[in-house]
Amino acid sequence: MLVSPFPDFNTRFCLFLLIAVVPAITGCKTSPKLNQRVGAFFGCPLGMEFPEPDELGRHQFNSGWSEQNGMVYTCRGGFIDIAHLREAADRTRYLREIARQNLVESRPVFSFQMIEPSIYTISVQYPKHWGNLSPEQQKLIAETVSIRLSQYLAHTSTVWHEIVTWFGFASVAFLPEHPSSFSWEDTYSDLLGTRLAAQAMEDSQQDFDTALTELINRQLQELCIQSAAAAELAEHTVKEKWFRNDFYFLIRMNKRNFDTGEDDGLITPWLIPGICTETEPQSYPVPDLTFASQWGFAFKVEMKPSEKERIPILAIIFPDGNGTHLQPESDFPTIMHYIEDQARRKYGPEVDVPRL
């Protein structure tokens, strides 16, 4: 396998094209407070960046330019996209601040926008005796509930990102992101980000960036992170089998991992055969809203897709063309089944099976 002598420059340049000119070219309406990270993707014509385990650097909320990202390989978690992990963590922290503020102010409805243009609206049913609690008691409860709520909302937004890119959404108009949609490391990397962000926000002894940096390193060690050379070998093992990268517009991803946790409540990573021996994948549960009842809350999440790709997506749920909003909890599974059927027709019946 040919490896660029300048992986940092090549990969960063290649991936930078995916987001650098969003405002100038697409005019997409993105969040003014949350930035999109430069991620990695299999098939990048200029090569992939594989950092060493001890070279990941310090996490920086809503930044990333001084971090070392790229793709790592772990024995129990398969490939993990560090930029995906970091961005999912930042989405979680960002949403926690929005949720906490609105809960403290006892607002019945609040809305937000993520990196993608869609608008999310959260309707809140408060505990029966919420009004009898002191402001200090309300704030204390909001601190805890907002963390769990932000995990769910961040996870939902990352799944939506994969859905909308499947239908051709592009951060840059001339580079549709379909080739990397539901790549086999995406949903697991995102899930790790939401989990670790919640743990970092629960750490009252350290700031978010310091806590998350330590948690990322610890998590990767628990998953048995491998050297950069092993990660390159893992990529070489699946190249021409799981993907081909002759040219960006001709990238063919023969394998996709559509696991969003809708079936068993877990996301299970794909392990590359032959890289590590006698290992089992480490699954983790996806966030849900069942926690709310413990505190006497109930949340309803609705979203209004604003991307141009909303037309074919909404048609899946509303064949008569009369719907404009989605309820992720009930509608995403239907959309995912449609996508999986499409993928099997296009890439074959084993598109979602991690075999060579």
Is 191 domain-assigned?
yes
Q: What is 141-167 written as a DSSP string?
A: HHHHHHHHHHHHHHHHHHHHHHHHHHT
pLDDT for 249: 61
Three-state SS at 13: helix
CA distance 346 to 165: 16
Q: Is residue 131, in this structure, part of any structural domain at all?
A: yes
pLDDT score, position 23? 32
Residue 353 lies in a domain: no
Domains identified in the chain, total number: 1
CA angle 98, 66, 228 (to 5 degrees): 110
196 within 8 A of 215, measured Cβ to Cβ: yes
CB 267 within 8 A of CB 254: no
Domain range spanning residue 289? 7-347
In a domain, 286, yes or no: yes
User: What is the Cα–Cα distance from 220 to 355, expressed in whole angstroms?
Assistant: 24
Which among 251, 188, 355 is positioned nearest to 42, based on CA atoms?
251
Q: Which residues pair with 81 in a beta bridge?
A: 71
Using CA atoms, how far residue 337 sits from 42, 263, 329, 343, 344, in Å, is 24, 11, 14, 10, 11
Q: What is the dihedral of CA 72, 197, 94, 286, to 10 degrees?
A: 90
Q: What is the pLDDT along the chain (356 residues), one digit of tens a residue?
A: 333 333 343 444 344 444 333 333 222 333 447 887 766 778 776 778 899 999 999 999 987 677 888 999 999 999 999 999 999 999 999 999 999 999 999 999 999 999 999 999 999 999 999 999 999 999 999 999 999 999 999 999 999 999 999 999 987 666 778 888 999 999 999 999 999 999 999 998 999 999 999 999 999 999 999 999 999 999 999 999 999 876 656 688 899 999 999 999 999 999 999 999 889 999 999 999 999 999 999 999 999 999 999 999 999 999 999 999 999 999 999 999 999 999 999 999 999 999 98
Query: Is 335 inside any structural domain?
Result: yes
Residue 313 included in any domain: yes
| Residue 214 half-sphere exposure toward CB, CA atoms < 13 A | 10
Is residue 333 one of the residues assigned to a domain? yes
Shortest CA distance to 171 belongs to which of 339, 11, 17?
17
Residue owning tokens 């089998």 = 241
Residue 318 one-letter amino acid:
F
| pTM of this structure | 0.89
CA dihedral 130, 131, 135, 138 (to 10 degrees): 10
Percentage helix, strand, coil, to 5, in the chain?
Answer: 45, 10, 45
H or E element, residue 72:
strand 71-74
